[in-house]
Amino acid sequence: MPRTFVWHRTRGPKKTAPEELTKGKVRIKQVRSGIGHPAEMRRTLESLGLRHHQAEVVRPDSPSLRGQIKHVRHLVTVTPVEE
């Protein structure tokens, strides 16, 4: 059976931002497509509300949301929302 997945060290973010819970909301923007990634990652993007490339959603910050973001952190950017 041919090998279908090859992990490249140069792919993905060079450095991820430290996890800091905010008291308000966060803006999540999808910067890379889910095409070519496992179905679990695509489902995570959909559960975040990101249906297509360059989509943005604003969600209240919580530990469960941070877990979802951590799963797809190479596909999204997260910024705190100033209210």
35-to-9, 40, 66, 75, 79 alpha-carbon distances in Å: 19, 12, 22, 11, 24
pLDDT value, residue 3: 62
Tens-level pLDDT at each residue, the chain (83 residues): 556 666 666 666 666 666 667 778 999 999 999 999 999 999 999 999 999 999 999 999 998 999 999 999 999 999 999 87
- What the block records as the tokens of 13 is 């973010």
Q: DSSP string spanning 45-72?
A: HHHHT--STT-EEEEE--HHHHHHHHHT
What's the half-sphere exposure (Cβ side, CA atoms, 13 Å) at 37?
17
pLDDT value, residue 40: 95
Any domain includes 6: no
pLDDT value, residue 82: 83
pLDDT value, residue 83: 72
pLDDT value, residue 9: 66
Q: What CATH number is attached to the domain comprising 56?
A: 3.30.1390.20
* Full residue range of the structural domain in which residue 52 is found: 35-80
Number of domains composing the chain? 1
